[in-house]
Amino acid sequence: MSTDTNRAIDAVWRIESPRLIAGLARIVRDVGLAEDLAHDALVAALEQWPESGIPRNPGAWLMATAKHRAIDLLRRRTLLDRKHQELGYELEIAQNAAAPDLDAALDDDIGDDLLRLVFTACHPVLSAEARVALTLRLLGGLTTDEIARAFLVSEPTVAQRIVRAKKTLAKERVPFEVPGSNELASRLASVLEVIYLIFNEGYSATSGEDWMRPALCEDALRLGRILAGLMPDEPEVHGLVALMEIQASRATARVGPDGAPILLLDQNRSLWDQVLIRRGLAALDRAEHCGKPPGPYLLQASIAACHARARQAGDTDWMAIAGLYAELVTLSPSPVVQLNRAVALSMALGPQAGLDLVDTLIDEPALANYHLLPSVRGDLLAKVGRVQEALREFERAASLTRNARERELLLQRARACQSTAPQAS
């Protein structure tokens, strides 16, 4: 298989797999089985597309293939065991070969199916870690390696969580539905975490050739907006939507013509999407007027709003941002939050203030393989004139990232340090 075809199939799978799995899960009522059927369609694509060429509408091709396999499966199940009542009306349709009705069921609007899939994967019968990992796998189309990097845990750990989660959902016969209002609030925290992690994978891809995966950001935004409609009095839902809207507004400015990443302070702010910014600020206003104490998403949205309101990078209120990060550290202690706070402190009080805080995080186990720690430290070391140390930090960061665009950016910064380092006489 050619590299171009391989990349094309991978790109199609990233975009289409959540919709495939969600639509199939509504029919077969088993998310594990739905994922298997979707993967069967992917295998068929891997076998046929290198010879026949990539279809004009590859997503529709995958859906049709998965649909036919689902119908065949339902037929076989009906013939083998007519007592499978959980398949209900769809089984009778399959037995009578009334495929058009199944076609219609699978071709319905899948927005609600995606939301059902999130809440199914976030069911209380699963551990919090399993809920997040499974939903990232099913909705985000992420590999176990990418999920492991997002959580800063090992790949085998994530793989075990996903396998056990699917078995538990099948064993407990978890319904494929959005929970009632009495259950909705209790499952909200893990759902919000899942949605934001999906958004983040689209916003800054952990691996691959592309800096961003816009389709994942769009899916996360859609899910967040639907949740906001379901829970209009919950500030954290509006806070997350505000955060994603404002961050998504920078998408065009974050990537150069050649696909290379452009960091926040170097972006052309005239390219920021003002419609998304206004939507984000409106969601932030709704969150602040819910009458409840701020949660972590509302605080992060407030930080994003500080950037959005600054017409130029030099207008940014870094003291306010540092203060918001201090609140966030108190509310949700995390070495990653502390690292972000160090950046804000460096901008507000000077690079040495930030470096002092970063140096306290060097031995944090959770950050041992986190490429942004040496990346931030390298930047601060360069600013205080310790360019040889900065060079080594940028090289270490480049060795840790799995994203090709980000790796090249870090290596460029290492080369810049090398060119300014004092030469031995």
Q: In this predicted model, what pLDDT tens digit does every residue of 270-313 receive, in sequence order?
A: 999 999 999 999 999 999 999 889 999 999 999 999 999 999 99
* Predicted local confidence at residue 5, as pLDDT: 77
Alpha-carbon span 407 to 393, nearest angstrom: 13
Alpha-carbon span 397 to 420, nearest angstrom: 19
CA distances from 275 to 29, 202, 269, 272, 279 (A): 38, 20, 13, 9, 6
Sequence spans of domains, the chain: 1-108, 317-425
* Type of residue found at 237: V
Q: Name the β-bridge partners of 402.
A: 207
Could you give phi then psi for residue 118, rounded to 5 degrees?
-60, -50
Tell me: pLDDT of 159 over 90. Answer: yes
Could you give phi then psi for residue 260, rounded to 5 degrees?
-75, 145
Contact partners, residue 273, CB within 8 Å, separation at least 6 = 248, 249, 250, 251, 252
DSSP classification of residue 141:
-
Tell me: pLDDT of 134 over 70. Answer: yes
Instruction: Report whether 32 contacts 14 (CB < 8 A).
Output: no
* Predicted local confidence at residue 316, as pLDDT: 97
Alpha-carbon span 246 to 277, nearest angstrom: 5
In percent, the amount of the chain with pLDDT more than 70 equals: 89
Tell me: pLDDT of 162 over 90. Answer: yes
- Report the CATH fold assignment for 317-425: 1.25.40
Where does the pLDDT of residue 363 fall: very low under 50, low under 70, confident under 90, or very high at 90 and above? very high
Note the Cα 345 to chain centre separation in Å.
27
Among 122-136, 153-167, 388-402, name the one with the lowest average pLDDT. Answer: 122-136
State the residue for tokens 């970063």: 358
Q: Which of the pair, 412 or 152, is modelled with greater confidence?
A: 412
Alpha-carbon span 139 to 121, nearest angstrom: 10
The kind and range of the H/E element at 179 are none
In percent, the amount of the chain with pLDDT more than 90 equals: 47
